Amino acid sequence: MRTLLDKNSKAVLKRIEAHTFQDEDGDEYEGSTFGGFGDYFRRKKIKLQNLDAELRSSAGDKPPIFRGIVAHVNGYTQPSLNDLHRLIVTHGGGFMQYLDGKTTVTHIIAANLTPKKAVEFRRYRLVKPAWIVDSVNAGKLLPWDEYRVISEAPGQRLLGFSQGKMVSQVNVDRSGYRDQMETSWYSTKVKGIADDIDEKATSGTADQEGNFDGQPIEAITEAVSEDADGSVQLSGSFEVTSSLEEALKQAARASQHRGVNLMLDIEDQVSRPAASPSLGGNECGPMPLDGTTSSKAGALQIPQKHPPDMGSPSPSKKAKQMTAEEHNAKLLLDPHIRKSSTANPNFLQQFYSESRLHHLSTWKAELKSRLQQMAAEAAASQKPAKRKSGQRSYILHVDFDCFFCAVSLKNSPDYIDKPAVVAHGSGTGSEIASCNYPARAFGVKNGMWMKQALTLCPTIKVLPYDFPAYEEASKSFYEAILGLGCIVQSVSVDEALVDITALCLPDRESDDNDQGITTEQEKANGIALGLRRHIKQTTGCEVSIGIGANILLAKVALRKAKPAGQHQITPENVLDIVGELSVQSLPGVAYSIGSKLEEIGVKLVKDIRLLTKERLTTVLGPKTGEKIWDYSRGIDKSELGEQAVRKSVSAEVSWGIRFISQAEAEDFVQNLCVELQRRLMEQKVKGKQLTIKIMKKAADAPLNPPKHLGHGKCDTYTKSTALLLATNSTQFVLPTQIDPAVLAELPHDIRSKLMAQSRSRSASRTSSPGILSRSASPTSISRRGLTLQQNEPLPLQFDPEVFEALPEDMKAEVLASYSAQGSGRQQAILPQSPRKNKTRPPKKLTPTKKRGRPVGSKNKKEDPFPTLTQSNFVLGKSADTSVDSEGPELLDLDFLAALPEEMRLEILAENRQKRLAKRGGLAASNLKKRRPPEPAEPGQIKLILPRRDPRPTFTTRGLWKGDELRGTVQMWHTEFRDDGPLSEDVQALERYLRRVVTDERNLSKARGVIKWLTWLVDEDESTDNGQKVWLTALETIKGSVQVAVQERGLGILDL
DNA sequence: ATCCTCCCCTAC
DNA sequence: TAAGGTAGGGGAGGAT
Ligand SMILES: Nc1ccn([C@H]2C[C@H](O)[C@@H](COP(=O)(O)OP(=O)(O)OP(=O)(O)O)O2)c(=O)n1
Ligand SMILES: [Mg+2]
C-alpha cells in the first residue's frame, strides 16, 4: 500500500484493473531468459516502436482494412506481439498495449486463453492472430467471428474458503535487528535534532538486479484465476488501496495471494523542517507531501481442507488438484515454515527485521531526511551561494566495496580472500545481497539467487547478515564525508555524492590557467585519498571513489576505481571513457531501456552519438531520450544537492505470504495497515491518495514457487483512491487515539479495513511501539481522528473542493454506494470502523483498544459494490468524500471494484456468510440504517447490491455534477446519524457552501446540497436524538447560505 | 499544450 | 529453507 502525499490536487481515484503479469519462472534469476516471454517483455519491445503514427505514415500504401478497430494482444502469439502491432497499425487499426478499462478496445487477440482470462475478457471479441494475418493477406477485413477464440469454460469459481481461522501461536521473539537498534545513530541523531519534527523518510532501494528470475521486479500481483476445475485460485499478492478492508478481505480469501502492498499518498501536510520555503519552522507542522504507503502481503495458497464456512456453497472439492488453501495448509504444517510466513502473528516484524531491502530503504530515507535537514539549517545560517561561473565542478562518488560482504567478513577474516557472499541461507532460493571480489571472479553478482551462484562457484562461503554493523560502518562513513563540510547527497547507506568543488579552488588566483586546473584536479585526488584512508581506518573496510565533473562522470569513474581505488575522469578523457561503456552501464539504463536501444542498433554508449536526439526521444520518450543523448557525451544536467521532499510512503511484503484462511489474510492486511499508519505518523504526513496492490498467483504458476516462500509468478492488481481529507483536525477524537491529523485519512482507510476485519482478533501486537494497536478491535472507524497529538493538528481540512475535483465516475460510484445503503438493500454496512488509533509514539498513545467506542465511531461501511455484479473488470472508481469521514468506505468499494471479479464475488459471498452468521443476516438489513454495532465488528459490509437506487437525485436534474458531493454528504449523515454532526463539520460545510455561493456563484449547487441533506435528515426516522441535532444543523447551514446569498445581493434563496 | 492517472522502470 | 522493499522519474494515453 502506498500513500501519496498529495499536494493539493484533487484527489481522484481511479480504478483499476490493471493486471499485468510478470513471470518468474524459475530460478534463473538473471536468467537470461526472462522466460523469454512474458507478456511484459513482449510488450516492452513493442513499446519501442511505439510510434503508431510513425508506423502508419510509413505504411503509406497499405489498405486501411483495420480502420475502426482497436486491438489488444494477450499472451504469446504467433506472429509476435510486435508484428501484430505493426500489421494492425500499418493497416489503419488502433492498438492498445494495455487494457486500462477505459479505453475502448474492440478486439483482443490471443492464441488461447486461460479460464481466468476468458472471464476477464468475456466482454470482448476474442480473436486469433490469424485473423489479422489473413485479413492482411486478403487485403480486406475478414469476419472476425470465424477466428473466434473458444474459451474454455470459465466458469466456475470456487470459493475458497471459509474463514476458518487458524490460530497460530505467537512466539514473539523479537530479536529483530531493529529492536536492537534503538540507539542507533540515525535514530538518535534524528531525534536529537529537530526533535520530532523531522521527517524521516524512508525510501528504499534495493537493487534487484536480478529481478526475480529475470523478471521485473514487481512481482507482486494478484490475480484471480480459476482452476481448471473451476476453482478459483488467487494467488499472488495484492495491494489494497483504498478500501483496505475490502482488499484485505479479498486478499485473505484468496488463498493464493502472494503479496500485498498498500500505498498511501500523502497529503500535503507534513510538517517539514525548514527546508523548503514553505512552512518553516521546525515544527511539526504539516507539510505537504505526499507519500504513499503501501503494504504488500504475500499470497498464500492453501487449499482448504474443509469446506468453509457453513453454508455456502460447498466448497469444493476437486480432488486432484489441491486448492491453494489446501496447499498452504499442508505446507504450514511444518512449524518452521509456519514461523516464517504469515501464519506467524509476528511475521511482519520478523520479516522486516530480516529484510535487507527493507533496511536499505529505511536507511536511505533516514539519511535523506537528515541531510535535508542539515542542508536546511545550513541554508538558514549562511546563504551564500556563490557560484562562479566558469568554475569546473568536482564531484566525488564514494562507495564501499562489496559493502555487506566486507563488513560481514570482519567476523570471518579467514574468508577474505575466498569467494564469499552475504545471504540468509544456502538454499537455492536464497538471495545474495553482496559478494566479494573473489566471488565476482566466478561471475557471482549481488542480487543473484544462490542456485545460480553455486553453479558458478560451488565453494562459496555464505556469511550471515550483520545489520547493526552495516549501520555502524555507515555512520562512520557519513561522519567522515560530512566532515568535509560540503554538500552531500546520499545514494545509499554505503554510497554518497559529495561536491568538493569549493575545496578544489586554488588557494589564490593562479596566473597560469592550465596549472590552476591541474592543481584543482590534484586537490580533488588528495581529498579522495584522505577520505579513503580515513574511512578505511575507522571502519576497516575499503571504499572506492570516482571523481568527475558531474554525477554521471563521478559514477563512471567509480566503476573504474573499484576495488579499493579511486579514479578521476578529466575533461579530455570523457568521450573516450564514456563511449566505450555498454549502454546498460549508464545509470538509469537496465534491461528495458537497454533492449530498446539494442533494437535500434545501439550497444555501446558511443553508438548513441550516431543517433539524432529526435530519434532517441522517439524511441525512449522525451526525457529519457534527451538524458541518454546527453549521457553519451558525458553531459549530466542533474545537480547534486536538492533533496526532494518525500512524496509517498508505502509498505509491502511479497514473501512469506501463505494464507490459509480469511482471518489470517485479514490480520495480515491489518498489520500492514498499521505499519503504514505508523510510518505516516512517524513522518508526520498525511496521505491523500491510497493505493493498494495485491499479487495473486498466476493461473499458470505452480503452487510451489521456485523460491522458498516466494511469490512466484503473479498477476497484480492495484487500486488507488483519493482520500479526502480530513477534517480538521480536532475533531473527534475517537476513543482512542487519534491520529494526527495528517494521517488521519489514510490511516483511516486502513483502519477501517482493518477494523472491519479484525474485530477483535487478537491483538498480538503491533510492531512497533508506536503503533498501535489495533485496538480497534472494534471496528469502528473513526475518521479522522485526530488529533491528539500535538497540537497541531494538522490542518487538514477537508476540502469540499477536493470532491469536486473527483472524476465523475468516482462520484457516481460513491453515490451509488450510498444509495444502496440507504435503500436498504444492501446490507450494509457497517460498521464502524475503527478508528483510528494511532497514536503517536511519543506520547500517548496507546492504542487503543477497544472500546471505547466512543462516539465517534464511525463506521465504515462497505460498500455495496454495485459494480460487482458481474464480471468484468471493473472499473471502479472511487469516491471521495468530502467530508471525509466517510471516505474510507468509499474506498472499499473501489477496492473491490478493482479486484478481479472472481475475487469480488468470492469476497462478497464470504461476507454475506459472515454476516449472516453473525448478525443474523444481512438480509435483514434493510432499511436505512443499520447501525453497526459497535461491539461487534463490523463485518464488512459489503453489499452486494448494486443498484443504485433511486433516491432522489439531484443529478438527474443535472444541476451539479457533484455526485460526489452528494455522496459525501450522505456519508457524513450516515456516519453521524445517531449522534448528530460535529460542529466543526457543520462549520466546514457552511464555509464551503458560502464559497459556492460567493466564489463559485453556483446557487443551484448550494441549494442542491442543502436539499439533499434535508432529504436525508427528513427521511431518517430512526433516531430522534440525532435527528434533532441534524435539523438544527440544517437551519444553521441554511442561515449561512442565505447570508452569503444576500451578500451577493440576491435576496433570499428558496430553500 | 497541459494535466492526470496508471503503470513501468530503475536503483541500492 | 528465507526474509523478493521502496521511492521517484517518467512514458502512454485519455481528458481538458
Ligand atoms: N541486489 C542488491 C544490491 C545491493 N544490495 C545491498 C548489499 C550491498 O553490499 C549494498 C550496496 O550495494 P552496491 O551496489 O554498492 O554493492 P556492493 O557494495 O556490495 O559492491 P560494490 O559497490 O563494490 O560493487 O546494497 C542488496 O542487498 N541487493
Ligand atoms: Mg558499494
Ligand 1 atom, smallest distance to A357 CA: 27
Of the listed ranges A535-544, A766-775, A810-819, the one predicted with least confidence = A766-775
User: Residue A994 maps to which CATH number?
Assistant: 1.20.58.1280
Residues less than 5 Å from ion ligand 2, measured at CB: A 399-400, 403, 494
- Listed residues A93, A118, A152: the one ending a domain: A152
CB A6 within 8 A of CB A700: no
A722 φ/ψ angles, rounded to the nearest 5 degrees: -90, 140
CB A798 within 8 A of CB A7: no
Is the CB of A724 within 6 Å of ligand 1?
no
Q: Which H or E run contains A376?
A: helix A356-381
Share of chain A above pLDDT 70, in %: 50
Cα–Cα distances (Å) from A799 to A10, A883, A995, in that order, read 9, 7, 11
Cβ atoms within 10 Å, residue A526: 12
Q: Which nucleotides of C are covered by protein (CB under 7 A)?
A: 1-15
Supply the range of the domain harboring residue A448: 412-465
* CA–centroid distance for A925 within its chain: 35
pLDDT at position A54, please? 58
Q: Is A634 exposed, middle or buried (0-12, 13-18, 19+ CB in 10 A)?
A: buried
**Could you give the 3-state DSSP secondary structure of residue A435?**
strand
Q: Is there a domain that residue A369 lies in?
A: no
Q: Could you give the CA distance from residue A949 to residue A952 in angstroms, rounded to a whole number?
A: 9
Q: Is there a domain that residue A29 lies in?
A: yes
User: Residue A720 maps to which CATH number?
Assistant: 3.30.1490.100
Which of A446, A467, A474 has the most ligand 1 atoms within 8 A of CB, as the residue to mutate?
Answer: A446
CB A234 within 8 A of CB A710: no
Q: Could you give the CA distance from residue A431 to residue A790 in angstroms, rounded to a whole number?
A: 43
Q: Could you give the CA distance from residue A325 to residue A365 in angstroms, rounded to a whole number?
A: 37
Q: Is there a domain that residue A381 lies in?
A: no
> Minimal CA–CA distance to A716: which of A235, A249, A26?
A235
Which of A405, A434, A558, A567 has the most ligand 1 atoms within 8 A of CB, as the residue to mutate?
Answer: A434
Q: Is there a domain that residue A437 lies in?
A: yes
Q: Could you give the CA distance from residue A792 to residue A763 in angstroms, rounded to a whole number?
A: 30
User: Residue A458 maps to which CATH number?
Assistant: 3.40.1170.60
Q: Is there a domain that residue A233 lies in?
A: no
Q: Could you give the CA distance from residue A19 to residue A718 in angstroms, rounded to a whole number?
A: 8
Which ligand is closest in space to the CA of residue A469? 1
Ligand 1 atom, smallest distance to A401 CA: 23
pLDDT at position A427, please? 96
- Out of A86-90, A173-177, A179-183, A309-313, the most confident range is A86-90
A702 CA – C9 C1', rounded, Å: 35
A582 φ/ψ angles, rounded to the nearest 5 degrees: -80, 150
- Predicted confidence (pLDDT) at residue A596 exceeds the cutoff of 70: yes
Q: Which H or E run contains A2?
A: strand A2-5
Domain count for chain A: 4
- Listed residues A695, A720, A735: the one ending a domain: A735
CB A856 within 8 A of CB A831: no
Q: Could you give the CA distance from residue A150 to residue A1037 in angstroms, rounded to a whole number?
A: 60
Q: Could you give the CA distance from residue A158 to residue A906 in angstroms, rounded to a whole number?
A: 8
Ligand 1 atom, smallest distance to A400 CA: 18
Q: Which residues contact A244 (CB under 8 A, 6 or more apart)?
A: A1, A262, A669, A673, A690, A692, A749, A750, A751, A752, A753, A754, A891, A892, A895
Q: Is there a domain that residue A128 lies in?
A: yes
Report the nearest-CA residue for atom 6 of ligand 1: A433
- Listed residues A735, A766, A794: the one ending a domain: A735
Cell of A119: 472471464
Q: Is there a domain that residue A544 lies in?
A: no
Is the CB of A446 within 6 Å of ligand 1?
yes
**A12 CB below 7 A from strand B atoms:** yes
Q: Could you give the CA distance from residue A135 to residue A733 in angstroms, rounded to a whole number?
A: 66
pLDDT tens per residue across span A285-339:
222 222 233 333 332 222 222 322 322 333 334 445 788 888 999 999 999 999 9
Cell of A474: 555507515
Q: Could you give the CA distance from residue A12 to residue A10 in angstroms, rounded to a whole number?
A: 6
Mean pLDDT to the nearest integer, A653-670: 91
Q: Is there a domain that residue A138 lies in?
A: yes
Q: Could you give the CA distance from residue A940 to residue A833 in angstroms, rounded to a whole number?
A: 10
pLDDT at position A263, please? 64
**A750 CB below 7 A from strand C atoms:** no
Q: Could you give the CA distance from residue A303 to residue A704 in angstroms, rounded to a whole number?
A: 13
Cell of A765: 501486537
Nucleic chain C contacts, protein chain A, residues 164-193, CB cut-off 7 A: none
Nucleic chain C contacts, protein chain A, residues 360-399, CB cut-off 7 A: 360-362, 364-365
Cell of A666: 485479514
pLDDT at position A6, please? 40
Mean pLDDT to the nearest integer, A765-783: 19
Sign of CA dihedral A774, A779, A781, A782: negative
Q: Which H or E run contains A395?
A: strand A395-400
Q: Could you give the CA distance from residue A718 to residue A899 in angstroms, rounded to a whole number?
A: 8
> Minimal CA–CA distance to A84: which of A43, A30, A41, A26?
A43
Q: How confident is the model at residue A115 (pLDDT cuts 50, 70, 90)?
A: low
Q: Which nucleotides of B are covered by protein (CB under 7 A)?
A: 4-12
Q: Whole-model pTM?
A: 0.59
Nucleic chain B contacts, protein chain A, residues 95-114, CB cut-off 7 A: 98, 100
Maximum C-alpha span of chain A: 93
